Amino acid sequence: MKPLSILVLGIAALLAGCDIVEDPYGPSDNGGGPPPVEGVRRRILLEDFTGHRCIYCPEAATIAQQLKDDPAIGEDLVVVGLHVTDFFAAPVPPLGDGYYDNDFRTTAGTTYITQWPVGSGLPKGMVSRKPFNGSIMLGRDAWEAAVNDLLGQEALMDLWFSQLDHNTSNGQVNAKVKVSVAKDLANAEHTLVVYLVEDSIVGWQSDANSTPSEIENYVHRHVLRGTMNGTWGELALAGTEAVGDTLEFTMPTYTLNSGWNADHMVLVAYLYNTATYEVMQVVEKHLHP
């Protein structure tokens, strides 16, 4: 496949921390590289706001996982679980007794529910932060329809991890993300965020549909652990780039918590419209293949 020739004038002055590159293609597996820029599929981000003391959140997590496992959706859906609020997600004292000791709350999750309040309670979720039936924050029963509403759309851009390294001796993670413009951006700015997500964490969970209603060895899926480049990320596209332009962004080094399981870590990169917050493209890649 021939490299795509690019021309980006003046963009380096606008976008700190990125490099313009000439090859928009990389390995095709597991978030490693996109198809040609024409006809790029838009992938969808489902952010599931949850908590281990939320009795209906396991039902919502099941819905999210069923959507992700649906062959008709498959890799077009990325799921991230954000544990939020002191009421639903804080550890239960006394700490150290093994009973609801986990604290999955993050600065990003706490900030997002200020921007998009969860209203009467959890579970709630956002599907690419796009309004559906007049709301961005959706109840679990609306997730499937909201996902299907976006499924199959062509994307404005694609992105992938061009580099992902983990130093097992000190826990440091280094990553680079490439962004390739597939359609006219119409002068709309887009911002890049990279999540660190840990899957399959075992711990306590309240569940209204379980007997007993408290599950000791519940498996928490797709848990947000932090962000590599801040809660709101960094400007990636100024909106003036031409179709075929490809840029590379180097993430700040991130040191994993020693208690996290690196074998279950996934990095999720997404681009959102800076003005509307709508997520226009997303990709995930396992830290350890």
Whether the Cβ atoms of residue 243 and residue 182 lie closer than 8 Å to each other: yes
Rounded Cα gap, residues 34 and 161, in angstroms: 10
> What architecture is the 11-34+42-286 domain classified under in CATH?
Sandwich (2.60)
Per-residue pLDDT of the chain (289 residues; tens, 9 = 90+): 433 333 333 433 334 344 434 333 333 344 555 544 558 999 999 999 999 999 999 999 999 999 999 999 989 999 999 999 999 999 999 999 999 999 999 999 999 999 999 988 999 999 999 999 999 999 999 999 999 999 999 999 999 999 999 999 999 999 999 999 999 999 999 999 999 999 999 999 999 999 999 999 999 999 999 999 999 999 999 999 999 999 999 999 999 999 999 999 999 999 999 999 999 999 999 999 8
- Counting Cα atoms < 13 Å in the Cβ hemisphere of 258 gives 2
Whether the Cβ atoms of residue 77 and residue 46 lie closer than 8 Å to each other: yes
DSSP H helical segments within the chain, as ranges? 11-14, 57-69, 86-89, 107-115, 143-150
Hey, where are the domains in the chain? 11-34+42-286
In the block, residue with structure tokens 């350890």: 288
Whether the Cβ atoms of residue 76 and residue 153 lie closer than 8 Å to each other: no
**pLDDT at residue 32 in the model:** 57
Reading the block at residue 130, the tokens are 């796009």
> What are the percentages of helix, strand and coil residues in the chain, rounded to 5?
15, 35, 50
Q: What is the DSSP string of 62-131?
A: HHHHHHHH-TTTGGGEEEEEEE--HHHHSPPSSTTSSSS----B-HHHHHHHHHS--TT-S-EEEETT--
Alpha-carbon distance values, 22 to 6, 154, 247 (Å) = 6, 23, 8
**pLDDT at residue 25 in the model:** 36
Rounded to two decimals, the pTM is: 0.88
Q: What is the DSSP letter of 138?
A: B
> How far, in whole angstroms, is CA 131 from its chain's centroid?
18
